[in-house]
Amino acid sequence: MKYFIVEGVIKNPSAMNESILEEHMEYTQKVMNQGLILMSTLKADMSGGLFIMKSESLEMVEKYLAAEPFKVAGIQEYRVIEFASPHYFNQSSMEWFNC
């Protein structure tokens, strides 16, 4: 398994609407339910989002992002960074993020 940090950068906020937002949330939730996204969040300045994802390959991540509703609608572009298998963990990640 490979691991990725994905940064979304909003390019066309005027194209955002409630319908696209719902599609985006449903699309993301399906992959979260499969256990492939660890966490997802908005950037503090609301200029896009960040998530941590695992996948068999970069190509699979790119395929997922190519069909992502924000990408399809021209709202958001993505930058993908692959990282090595983690070797240090904070066992209380939910507490760390005050969830």
Q: How many domains does the chain have?
A: 1
Residue with the larger pLDDT of the pair 10 and 88: 10
Whether residue 13 lies inside any domain: the answer is yes
For residue range 43-82, list pLDDT tens digits in order.
Answer: 999 999 999 999 999 999 999 999 999 999 999 999 999 9
Whether residue 75 lies inside any domain: the answer is yes
Whether residue 99 lies inside any domain: the answer is no
Whether residue 39 lies inside any domain: the answer is yes
CATH number at residue 50: 3.30.70.1060
pTM for this prediction: 0.89
Which pLDDT score, from 0 to 100, does residue 86 have? 84
Which pLDDT score, from 0 to 100, does residue 99 have? 62
Q: How far apart are CA 71 and CA 59, in angstroms?
A: 16
Q: Please compute the mean of the pLDDT values over residues 22-27 and round it to a whole number.
A: 96
Residue with the larger pLDDT of the pair 98 and 51: 51
Residue-range definition of the domain harbouring residue 81: 2-85
Whether residue 98 lies inside any domain: the answer is no
Cβ burial, residue 37 (10 Å; 0-12/13-18/19+):
buried
Whether residue 96 lies inside any domain: the answer is no
